Chains A and B, each alone.
Chain A
Amino acid sequence: MTLFRSLFFAAVLSGLIAGLMVTAIHAVSTVPIILQAETYEAAGANAPPPAHDHGAGNAAAAHEHGTEAWAPGEGIERTAYTALADVLTGIGCALLLCAAYALRGQATDWCQGMFWGLAGFAAFTLAPGLGLPPELPGTEAAPLLERQVWWLATVAATAGGLALIFLGRRVVPAVAGAALIVLPHVIGAPQPEVHASLAPASLGHDFVVAATMSSFAFWLVLGMLSGLFYGRFAGAASINRTRPPVPA
């Protein structure tokens, strides 16, 4: 119980700091691009439907938010909810990292945490991003459920594959881990029938770079902080005592 309290505290603190940091990064990198894309989306939604629809019109229709649903007001309110969502994402990811530290049962510090953070970046951003790159509002995409299933499966397979490679440290688990990492990409991410976007392609490219780099900073800092705080707060309770002592 004490271990869980320490673990939880370490995760909340590191998630809060990394979440607020990435909110600041999003505010100057990804969010301005999203807002710009929404102007194209709004223009596309207001335009008369084309005589022969090639899909771009559907992209706007797919992004209808439903007029009756609540949405934060533009400006400070929208930024505040983005901050809240970023912090909750930070805490959620930090809980997963700290759960991994607890399972591993070894002394953890900022440097160990940094490598776990890099693994998180690979599993949660790089691997799913290869098949489903970060996309702007108004982009044509495959059905949502199919994409969510592929995304989750890819994250799980990549995390499991990395664990087999780096924690197994034997040939057979390493080969199995590599196969597990490649498998979702052999199957392939669900794609739309026609690739189309209301925003210009150059804006889409800028967004992929901005989203990937902000995620990199997020995971790097989250890993370092969660490793540092977990090592400090969970301390001796977190270390696996079943291992034989190292001979002097």
Chain B
Amino acid sequence: MQIESTMTGAVATEDSVAAPNALANRLAAAACAALFGVFLLWGVGFSQLEAFHNAAHDTRHSNAFPCH
């Protein structure tokens, strides 16, 4: 019983080290992806640069991004 609880404790310790790393990894990946996604959507749908507007004109209207 004593040994089992010690082993469980050891496993828990290992998990508690691994889990924050995995969580940090997922959070970092999600944050980078979301930022880059927003950056792309801003360029296609919201940039006021005339050339960007003209290039993406039909996409902006078709996706109902506020245009003009």
Contacts and interface: CB of A to CB of B under 8 A. Distances in A.
B57 to A, nearest CB: 8
B45 to A, nearest CB: 7
A128 B68 contact: no
A211 B38 CA distance: 21
A240 B22 contact: yes
Interface string B41-68: 1011110001101111111111111111
A182 interface: no
B40 A82 contact: no
Interface residues of A, number: 63
A107 interface: no
A88 B26 contact: no
B34 A96 contact: yes
Interface of A: 1, 3-4, 7-8, 11, 26, 30-31, 34, 62-63, 65-66, 69-72, 78, 81-82, 84-86, 88-89, 91-96, 98-100, 102-103, 105, 124-125, 128-129, 132-137, 141, 144, 147-148, 151, 207, 210-211, 214-215, 237-238, 240-242
26 contacts: A3-B29, A4-B28, A4-B29, A8-B33, A34-B58, A69-B51, A71-B51, A71-B55, A72-B54, A78-B58, A82-B58, A85-B58, A88-B40, A92-B41, A96-B37, A100-B30, A102-B26, A102-B27, A103-B26, A103-B27, A125-B64, A135-B67, A136-B61, A144-B67, A215-B63, A237-B25
